[in-house]
């Protein structure tokens, strides 16, 4: 488990916005490791985990207001119940999960958590 940087920004909610943003990151050789979005009527909020957050922030700042959030990246088994276990542990410790999203491949997945108490989550999930 590690703490990684999640980059947050909004894009206009119309065709081509995502393509332009991802092309700009590709041109800067930034790889998207995980992506999550929340659609709004006029703007869509994006949350990215990338392999080079500093370069991504430079690229994205030219067109977008961005913020960053520290999130937990947890390696979990890719099997039924893995996310339920994380949710139970956080819930039992009184930790609110703001966002959760995951990537998977083979027998493992990476679960990204934005929580209201990062240090407490790191302790209870590290057990």
In the structure, what pLDDT confidence band is assigned to residue 88 with cuts at 50, 70 and 90?
A: very high
- The rounded distance, in Å, linking the Cα atoms of 51 and 45 is 20
In the structure, what pLDDT confidence band is assigned to residue 36 with cuts at 50, 70 and 90?
A: very high
Residue ranges and CATH numbers for the domains of the chain are: 2-67 (3.30.2130.10), 70-125 (3.30.2130.10)
pLDDT in tens, 53-87: 999 999 998 777 899 999 999 999 999 999 999 99
In the structure, what pLDDT confidence band is assigned to residue 12 with cuts at 50, 70 and 90?
A: confident
Q: How many C-beta atoms surround the C-beta of residue 62 within 10 A?
A: 7
3-state SS string for the chain? CEEEEEEEEEEECCCCHHHHHHHHHHHCCCCEEEEEEECCCCEEEEEEEECCHHHHHHHHHCCCCEEEEEEEEEEEECCCCHHHHHHHHHHHCCCCEEEEEEEEECCEEEEEEEECCHHHHHHHHCC
Length of the chain: 127
What pLDDT is stored for residue 126 in this prediction?
Answer: 86
The model's pTM is 0.86
- The rounded distance, in Å, linking the Cα atoms of 34 and 90 is 22
């Amino acid at each position: 488990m590690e703490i990684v940087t999640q980059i947050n920004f909004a894009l206009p909610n119309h065709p081509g916005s995502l393509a332009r943003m991802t092309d700009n990151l590709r041109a800067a050789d930034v790889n998207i490791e995980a992506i999550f979005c929340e659609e709004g009527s006029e703007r869509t909020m994006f949350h990215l985990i990338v392999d080079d957050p500093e370069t991504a922030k430079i690229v994205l700042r030219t067109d977008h207001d961005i913020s960053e959030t520290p999130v937990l990246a947890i390696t979990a088994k890719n099997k039924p119940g893995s996310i339920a276990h994380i949710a139970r542990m956080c819930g039992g410790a009184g930790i609110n999960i703001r966002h959760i999203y995951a990537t998977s491949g083979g027998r493992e997945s990476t679960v990204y958590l934005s929580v209201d108490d990062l240090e407490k989550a790191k302790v209870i999930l590290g057990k």
